[in-house]
Amino acid sequence: MERLAAGLYIGFRYRFPIIMHPLIWARRSPLRYLVLSILYREPRTGMDIMREIERITLGFWRPSPGTIYPLLKLLEKEGFVKHETRDGRKVYFLTEKGKEIAREFSFMLPAKDVDDVVERLESYVSYLQDYSREYGLSEDLKRKLLKISKELEELAGGSK
């Protein structure tokens, strides 16, 4: 167990939860990366972010305002997001620093459209190229990749 300050501890020890300050949780939380990824797509209000998380989780979870708004304030303080007021509502958007982080974590969200799917495929191809140079590919993986390649070629109007 690690003592942080003023008697606050972080983590779990022997399956017993340790109470920690909410701002510490927000700094380490995967939720921050989810919020940044959502804002990477388009600027949104806090309510829009809560609705999008509810949509992504198929209605299983809708974070409370007491979770989202302090996190947005923290992300703004850290320089990842800014807000502007439009029609009396705070609309949050990413700074360049926020875009750098969000770009790395945008895979957390389902693809929003076909262009997004193609962009992800390009990223995966780059990864597979690097991986194969370093570790090689098994025969089974090569067969699977050839099958996918043929299906994509047919889809793109190549050989039929």
Q: Which domains does the chain have, with CATH numbers?
A: 2-108 (1.10.10.10), 114-155 (no CATH)
Q: List 40's β-bridge partners, or say none.
A: none
Report residue 81: phi and psi, to 5°: -135, 160
Helix (H) or strand (E) holding 93: strand 89-94
Q: Tokens in use for 81?
A: 């997001």
pLDDT-flagged residues of the chain (< 50): 1-26
pLDDT of the residue at 90: 97
Report residue 60: phi and psi, to 5°: -75, -25
pLDDT of the residue at 58: 87
pTM (whole model) above 0.75: no
